[in-house]
Amino acid sequence: MSKKVALITGVTGQDGAYLSEFLIKKGYTVHGIKRRSSLFNTDRIDHLYQDPHDDNRNMILHYGDMTDSMNLTRIIGDIQPDEIYNLAAMSHVKVSFDIPEYTANADGIGTLRVLEAVRLLNLTDKTRIYQASTSELYGLVQEIPQKETTPFYPRSPYAVAKLYAYWITVNYREAYGMHASNGILFNHESPLRGETFVTRKVTRAVSRIVLGLQNKVFMGNLSSKRDWGHAKDYIKAMYLILQQETANDYVISTGVTTTIRDFIKMSFLEVGVDVEFRGVDEEEKGFVVNVNDEIFSKVVGEEYLAAFKNRIGESVVGVDPAYYRPTEVELLIGDNTKARTKLGWEPTYDLKALCQDMMSHDVELMKKEEFLKNGGYRVLNYFE
Determine, following the binding rule CB under 6 A, whether residue 16 of this chain makes contact with ligand NAP: yes
Q: Which does 10 bind (CB under 5 to 8 A by kind): ligand NAP, ligand GDD, none?
A: ligand NAP
Question: Which of 91, 111, 221, 336 lies at the binding interface for ligand NAP (CB under 6 A)?
Answer: 91
Q: Which of residues 152-211 bind ligand NAP (CB under 6 A)?
A: 185, 187-188, 194
CB 317 within 8 A of CB 340: no
Number of residues that bind ligand GDD (CB under 6 A): 23
Query: Closest Cα partner for 229 from 185, 183, 184, 181?
Result: 185
Query: Does residue 67 belong to the site contacting ligand NAP (CB under 6 A)?
Result: yes
With beta carbons less than 8 A apart as the criterion, state whether 59 and 47 touch. Answer: no
Binding track over 117-136 against ligand NAP, x by CB under 6 A: ---------------x-x--
Of 5, 6, 7, 14, the one binding ligand NAP (CB under 6 A) is 14
* Residue 107 is a binding residue for ligand GDD (CB under 6 A): no
| By the rule CB under 6 A, 136 interacts with ligand GDD | yes
Are β-strands 83-86 and 128-134 bridged in parallel, bridged antiparallel, or unpaired? parallel
Listed residue (196, 333, 310, 308) closest to 255, CA to CA: 333
Residue 26 DSSP label? T
The catalytic residue among 29, 134, 169, 199 is 134
Q: Which of 12, 134, 150, 336 binds ligand GDD (CB under 6 A)?
A: 134
49 is a contact residue toward ligand GDD (CB under 6 A): no
Amino acid code (one letter) for 214: Q
34 is a site residue for ligand GDD (CB under 6 A): no
* Helical spans, DSSP H, in the chain: 14-25, 69-79, 93-96, 100-103, 110-120, 157-176, 198-210, 231-243, 260-270, 293-299, 305-309, 337-338, 351-372
Q: Which residue is nearest to ligand NAP (CB)?
A: 13
* Closest alpha carbon to 361 in 204, 222, 171, 224: 204
Question: Which residue among 28, 83, 85, 136 is the active-site one?
Answer: 136
How many Å separate Cα 235 from the centre of its chain?
10
Q: Which region among 86-94, 122-130, 168-176, 338-346 touches ligand NAP (by CB under 6 A)?
A: 86-94
Beta bridge partners of 129: 84, 180
Residues 298-357 that bind ligand GDD (CB under 6 A): 323, 325, 328-329, 332
d(CA 230, CA 14): 11
Of 60, 59, 61, the closest CA to residue 35 belongs to 61
Pick the catalytic residue from 18, 28, 130, 158: 158
The answer to whether the bond into 81 is cis (omega within 30° of 0) is no
What separation in angstroms does the CA of 214 have from each of 197, 205, 295, 317, 327?
18, 7, 20, 11, 30
User: Is 44 or 173 the residue whose CB approaches ligand NAP more closely?
Assistant: 44
* 134: β partners: 185
Distance of alpha carbon 299 from alpha carbon 46, whole angstroms: 28
Rounded least distance, CB 198 to ligand GDD, Å:
3
Q: Give the residues across from 378 on adjacent strands.
A: none
Residues 166-175 as b or e (16 or more Cβ within 10 Å = b):
bbbbbebbee
Decide if residue 311 touches ligand NAP (CB under 6 A): no
Which of 7, 12, 137, 343 binds ligand NAP (CB under 6 A)? It is 12
Output 18 or 186, the one with its CB closest to ligand GDD.
Answer: 186
Q: Which does 331 bind (CB under 5 to 8 A by kind): ligand GDD, ligand NAP, none?
A: none
224, interface contact from ligand GDD, ligand NAP, none, CB < 5-8 Å by kind: ligand GDD
Residue type, 163: L
Residues 196-225 within binding reach of ligand GDD (CB under 6 A): 196-198, 201, 219-221, 224
Among residues 65, 83, 270, 369, which is the contact residue for ligand NAP, using CB under 6 A?
Answer: 65
* Angle at the Cα of 136 from the Cα atoms of 236 and 174, rounded to 5 degrees: 70
> Is 158 assigned a catalytic role?
yes
Residues at the contact surface with ligand GDD, assessed by CB under 6 A: 91, 93, 134-136, 186-187, 196-198, 201, 219-221, 224, 226, 260, 323, 325, 328-329, 332, 384
| Binding interface with ligand NAP (CB under 6 A) | 9-16, 33, 35, 37, 41, 65-67, 87-91, 106, 132, 134, 185, 187-188, 194
Active-site residue set? 134, 136, 158
